[in-house]
Amino acid sequence: MLKKRIIPCLDIKDGTTVKGINFEGLRNAGNPIELAKKYENEGADELVFLDITATIEGRKTFVELVKDIAKELSIPFTVGGGISTVEDVRKLLEVGADKISINSSAVKNPQLISDLAKEFGSQCIVVAIDTKFIDGLDWVHIKGGREKTDLKTLDWAKKAEQSGAGEILLTSMDGDGTKNGFDIRITKLIAENVNIPVIASGGAGNREDFENVFNETKATGALAASIFHFGEINIDDLKQNLKQKKIAIR
């Protein structure tokens, strides 16, 4: 069984870490390089960097910032935002990213997943899925959650796996930033229907939320932002707590 991972996420806008609720109302959460160092020291298993407005603004991820953060890290580092070509990925891997996350570009061109997996290996291709529950169904959203697609979340997760994704980063837009707990229902559904690791994201508010998502779903990672950024939970304390609850944690 894969050991569970605790993964802080840096949502980046204009070079600064930000955090909102349900993908809106962003506020400043600090310097990304300082936060990256802090999380490594606290025992984070991985770090995710998402340039959340790159796609909307039609530009590429901040390569220099990725380079500066990567210099401070020895843990796996996933980078996403505005990635749409093999060349984009090559540049990010060259400056220190270990994995890359694609979302809107993969939805628009599923062949991209296959091309990237063939070029760099599935292990470094993460497909991020932003999902929202509307009228009794789960729908994939793109462009930083601004645009609903006609893709059902489960169908897309299966297609991403078939296309060569090595991992799925599943964000519940309904839970994002609310601190009401991870969306167990959608996480369970996706994690039970694909054979690649699923990272749960959106809604973490306390230690019990991590315990619940690991006990009640097959998610192998749990990602959070604001509770770590604003010092509400220390990662090392969280991991010790989960170990005491007999959860196999890295």
- Residue 235: pLDDT band by 50, 70, 90 thresholds? very high
Residue range 122-180, pLDDT digits in tens: 999 999 999 999 999 999 999 888 899 999 999 999 999 999 999 999 999 998 888 99
Q: Indicate the SS3 state at residue 62.
A: coil
Beta bridge partners of 107: none
Reported pTM: 0.94
Structure tokens at 229: 């950024």
Q: Residue 231: which residues within 8 A CB-CB, separation 6 or more? A: none
Confidence at residue 58, expressed as pLDDT on a 0 to 100 scale: 75
DSSP state at residue 4: B
Task: Let me know how long the chain is.
Answer: 250
Cα separation of 206 and 198, whole Å?
A: 20
- Per-residue pLDDT at 136: 96
Rounded to the nearest angstrom, the gap between the alpha carbon of residue 215 and the centroid of all alpha carbons in its chain is 20
Rounded distance, CA 84 to CA 103, Å?
9
Q: Which two tokens stand for residue 108?
A: 């628009």
State the pLDDT confidence band at 23, using cuts at 50, 70 and 90. low
Distance from C-alpha of 22 to C-alpha of 20, rounded to nearest angstrom: 7
Active-site positions? Answer: 11, 130
Beta strand pairing status for 5-13 and 16-21?
antiparallel
Q: How far apart are CA 185 and CA 21, in angstroms?
A: 20
Q: What is the spatial distance between Cα 54 and Cα 242, in angstroms, rounded to a whole number?
A: 35
Q: To the nearest whole percent, how much of the chain has pLDDT over 70?
A: 96
Comparison of pLDDT for 28 and 200, the residue scoring more: 200
Written as six digits, the tokens of 16 are 């600064």
Mean pLDDT of the chain: 93
Q: Is 217 in contact with 188 (CB distance < 8 Å)?
A: yes
Q: What is the pLDDT of residues 46-95, one digit of tens each?
A: 999 998 777 667 777 788 899 999 999 999 999 999 899 999 999 999 99
CB 58 within 8 A of CB 77: no
Which residues make Cβ contacts (< 8 Å) with residue 25, sequence separation at least 6? none
Most confident segment among 8-12, 29-33, 209-213: 209-213
Taking only the tens place, the pLDDT of each residue in 143-156 is: 888 899 999 999 99
pLDDT (0 to 100) of residue 9: 94
Q: Name every residue whose Cβ is closer than 8 Å to that of residue 23 and which is 6 or more positions away in sequence.
A: 130, 144, 145, 146, 173, 176, 177
